[in-house]
Structure 1
Amino acid sequence: MSTEFDLGALLAERGAERYELHTEYLNPQLPRMLHTIGFDKVYERAEGAHFYDADGNDHLDMLAGFGVMGLGRHHPVVRKALHDVLDLDLADLTRFDCQPLPGLLAERLLTHSPHLDRVFFGNSGTEAVETALKFARYATGKPRILYCDHAFHGLTTGSLSVNGESGFRDGFAPLLPDTAVPLGDLDTLARELMKGDVAALIVEPIQGKGVHEAPPGYLRAAQELLHKHKALLIADEVQTGLGRTGDFYAYQHEDGVEPDLVCVAKALSGGYVPVGATLGKDWIFKKVYSSMDRVLVHSASFGSNAQAMACGLAVLSVMENEQIVAGVRKTGELLKSRLTALIDTYELLADVRGRGLMIGIEFGRPSSLKLRSRWAMLQAARKGLFAQMVVVPLLQRHRILTQVSGDHLEVIKLIPPLIIDEADVERFVAAFTAVMDDAHSGGGLMWDFGKTLIKQAVAGR
């Protein structure tokens, strides 16, 4: 009897059981939710910004795995780097040596934020945030972290403490001492800093939930206030970093902003390997790692592993050689301008905002009586249902994958792979226009589906 493990044979034999396996052994609500909204697709393969089903139909990905697939799926350069590092048989993770790949990736990563000096590598965005919170508290000797309303920084206990949405926090208290402040409100920030116990403010330059950008000048002014009170500025660039907004980091859109700590993850490995990184100033790292006795005071078992480091180096190489950031600025402006032009056409379309290829499409109360009554019906059942009504036909009828940008929000967030082209933009705009036409037509399949969503929303209360 063969003792070899054949992954392809296993998937050929059992792959069709995917939804049953999830129902039985993983989160049972995921397959239930996917069945309910008609997202229970079976994707066989993927390449770049597209998925393909068993019949060979392509689906445009405007989600990028929640931003992980910055370069799309299976970029050949990153894929080769992963094969290469596996074939090298490196003595990885001995824990009592200094392998070259982490140092090489740190060196390359820091060239994009020259005011920062050192890097800690973990395994995820939430780990990058946890690292920043720990380092800020230790370096300043203060306990409290400020964060912004509606922020999302992760779901482990520390990062959950600075999560601005009660739905994620409820039932998991007690958490770290913290305080929420409104994004852009310098007066509230100043009042909290006067109390003298604030270690840092952590902020997304553009919030993932709702796609809300920090007002012009806010980050720089906040940084000055924080430093005046010997507190730190932490920029969470887990979703906005690595070119997503048309600059390498989103904080770089504002002159003079130099965060003390920067959190990176998601797209850094090209989607192949979990990875996270916390970049920081030299004095902060030297204070945390102040002696040989403290050499392992903060570490991660899989941190700096060779596969993640090799992928990270390949990703940064691709970004430079293929001028990814410049492409994002061009494609993002095209997408945003094409969508913005539709606002005057559709009364249900309230706003289009964002930077680069991080765009929020917000829906709002229509003016006409017929649509207003239908809108009110949805809002009474559950806020956010109309946005879901748009997301579903985009996938079912037009084979385009998108997401609602947070619970109870009438906002769709577009965070496609950074390599989408003009044809992909036009495909999305044409599909979105068709869905909006249907929503405004008076009848329409969308409103029939809305009734199904209302039943689910009421039943789930």
Structure 2
Amino acid sequence: MSFSIADLLSQHRTDKFDLHDHYLNAQMVRVLKTIGYDRNYERAAGQYLYDEQGNEYLDLLSGFGVYAFGRNHPVIVNALKEVLSLELPDLVQMDVSILSGLLAKEILTTTPDNLERAFFCNSGTEAVEAAIKFARYFTKRNRIICCDHAYHGLTMGALSLNGEQIFKDGFGPLLQDCGSVPFNDLAALEQALSSRNVAAFVVEPIQGKGVNIPDDHYLPEVERMCKKYGTLFVADEIQTGLGRTGKFWAVEHWGVKPDMICMAKALSGGFVPVGAVAMTQPIMDSVFNRMDRAVVHGSTFSKNNMAMAAGLASLEVIKSEKLVENSAKVGADIIGRLNALTGQFEFLKEARGKGSMIAVEFKSPDSFSLKAAWMMLEAANKGLFCQMITIPLFKEHRILTQVAGHGMNVVKLLPPLILTQKDCDRVISAFTKTVADTHQVPGSIWELGKNLASHALKAKAGQS
């Protein structure tokens, strides 16, 4: 029998949008075509994507963070090839595997020293689901608290902890006994915890939607309050972990020790879905407390050899290539140089972030003509101005970025941790030119703005 993926790709190299339009999410195809992101990428290497004409794109999304070490990293590729060539037994189930034991050991050498056990799963949302279950079992409490504007995943338990209503609409009723408090608000958190019925407070050390950074005293006080009221402190490091913020774990910026850390995304270098929860020994021992409870929570594919090998190779890449240090250096460079432009451009409010998790926020200007143009976009759809940044960055400069969240005037950069000085220079040059163009009213970029506003108004009319 002859079967070739290369042959299939060759035969259907221009069919991907038609295939998705007919058999998958047709609305995603409409979005891509509307904003001009409908490219046929044929190759990827490191931080770059290449289309069928050979044009190079600088990817500052890195697959929503999963390709933190760039695409097709040779060390991870070789590890996966080696696993396939060894013909290892895999997922025997009535057994335990060497590679999962080794990966757990390596992960726990990087986490705060109170975390001594690891649980593997397939994704970030599964890690959050596990944390919810383990917290409830350990504390014998039901209530779970998260933060407004949080994002913890889209399965039913994790979705119950999402602070953005747009993800929840139409999917209820969700998990009971879940609530939220404002991020960075200690008084609201203490009020919620003081009832002493909260099993866990689940929080992103830096919020992904908007790249919101807490005050320096916030997380240390979160740790103290959780201990005081018997609540588990769960850090969702699915996006912030593994060097993203210029520390291996974002909690290191504040010197705190959560009871659990959820991780995924970059853990396998983007190749194989994998997630994990690092936790204290008492939490693990409480859930798996007897032999007949050895399988009360698990996931069929969670400790497969491909995922575990990719995880081990990824940890080696982070260490050997000093990617945590590069993340800190690159991020500081980009943030500093963008902030230096705020006095030059009225629309530019600030750049902020830690390491290679960066937000570029825009604001209403003071000049009458600019303010009128801004208000036109805001009236059509809040946060629409950022599309006037991301679309030209892509079309004119071949730089891939994203809007940081629904209704936000924030562009988010989540680049691979391997960016070079040349890449940073390219980012600054492209942002400078694009933001400068928005200050030319009328101008060609505002024709794009009018088209975006027209699409937004038509969409609103269709919903009414």
TM-score past 0.5 threshold: yes
Amino acid at match of 2:228: K
Please tell me whether residue 236 in structure 1 is matched to residue 219 in structure 2.
no
Alignment map for 1:52-91 (pairs within 5 Å)? 52-91=50-89
Amino acid at match of 2:210: G
Q: Distance in 1 between matches of 2:135 and 2:192?
A: 16
Residue matched to 1:193: 193
Q: Distance in 1 between matches of 2:215 and 2:48?
A: 34
Residue matched to 1:36: 34
Amino acid at match of 2:147: C
Q: Distance in 2 between matches of 1:242 and 1:102?
A: 18
Q: Distance in 1 between matches of 2:411 and 2:443?
A: 20
Residue matched to 1:448: 447
How far has the Cα of 1:220 moved from its partner? Answer: 1.1
Residue matched to 1:103: 101
Is the contact made by 1:119 and 1:279 (CA closer than 8 Å) also made in structure 2? yes
How far has the Cα of 1:442 moved from its partner? Answer: 2.1
Structure 2: which 5+ residue stretches go unaligned? none
Count how many residue pairs are aligned between Structure 1 and Structure 2.
458
Is the contact made by 2:196 and 2:231 (CA closer than 8 Å) also made in structure 1? no
How far has the Cα of 1:188 moved from its partner? Answer: 1.2
Q: Distance in 2 between matches of 1:407 and 1:182?
A: 17
CA deviations over 1:177-224 (Å, ceiling 9, x no partner): 111101111111111112221001000010000000121111111111
Is the contact made by 1:242 and 1:248 (CA closer than 8 Å) also made in structure 2? yes
Amino acid at match of 2:382: K
CA deviations over 1:317-352 (Å, ceiling 9, x no partner): 111111111111111111111111111111000121
SS of the residue corresponding to residue 12 of structure 2 reads helix
Q: Distance in 2 between matches of 1:460 and 1:300?
A: 40
Q: Distance in 2 between matches of 1:252 and 1:444?
A: 46
Q: Distance in 2 between matches of 1:332 and 1:389?
A: 23
Q: Distance in 1 between matches of 2:451 and 2:85?
A: 52
Is the contact made by 2:338 and 2:350 (CA closer than 8 Å) also made in structure 1? no
CA deviations over 1:217-245 (Å, ceiling 9, x no partner): 11111111111111100000000000000
SS of the residue corresponding to residue 145 of structure 1 reads strand
Identity rate, percent: 49
Amino acid at match of 1:353: R
Is the contact made by 1:390 and 1:446 (CA closer than 8 Å) also made in structure 2? no
How far has the Cα of 1:65 moved from its partner? Answer: 0.4
Is the contact made by 1:47 and 1:73 (CA closer than 8 Å) also made in structure 2? yes
Q: So what's the TM-score if we normalise by structure 1?
A: 0.98
Q: Distance in 1 between matches of 2:444 and 2:264?
A: 39
CA deviations over 1:117-148 (Å, ceiling 9, x no partner): 11111111100111111111110010011101
Q: Distance in 2 between matches of 1:115 and 1:88?
A: 36
Q: So what's the TM-score if we normalise by structure 2?
A: 0.98
Runs of at least 4 residues off by over 4 Å: none
Residue matched to 2:272: 273
Is the contact made by 2:139 and 2:199 (CA closer than 8 Å) also made in structure 1? yes
Residue matched to 2:13: 15
Q: Distance in 1 between matches of 2:81 and 2:202?
A: 37
How far has the Cα of 1:443 moved from its partner? Answer: 2.7
How far has the Cα of 1:17 moved from its partner? Answer: 0.7
Q: Distance in 2 between matches of 1:8 and 1:193?
A: 56
How far has the Cα of 1:460 moved from its partner? Answer: 1.2
Is the contact made by 1:384 and 1:409 (CA closer than 8 Å) also made in structure 2? yes
Q: Distance in 1 between matches of 2:443 and 2:266?
A: 38
Amino acid at match of 1:223: E
Amino acid at match of 1:370: S
SS of the residue corresponding to residue 13 of structure 2 reads helix
How far has the Cα of 1:57 moved from its partner? Answer: 1.1
Residue matched to 2:251: 251
Deviates further, 444-453 or 294-303: 444-453
Q: Distance in 1 between matches of 2:74 and 2:355?
A: 24
Deviates further, 184-193 or 238-247: 184-193
Amino acid at match of 1:400: I
CA deviations over 1:436-456 (Å, ceiling 9, x no partner): 111112232211011111111
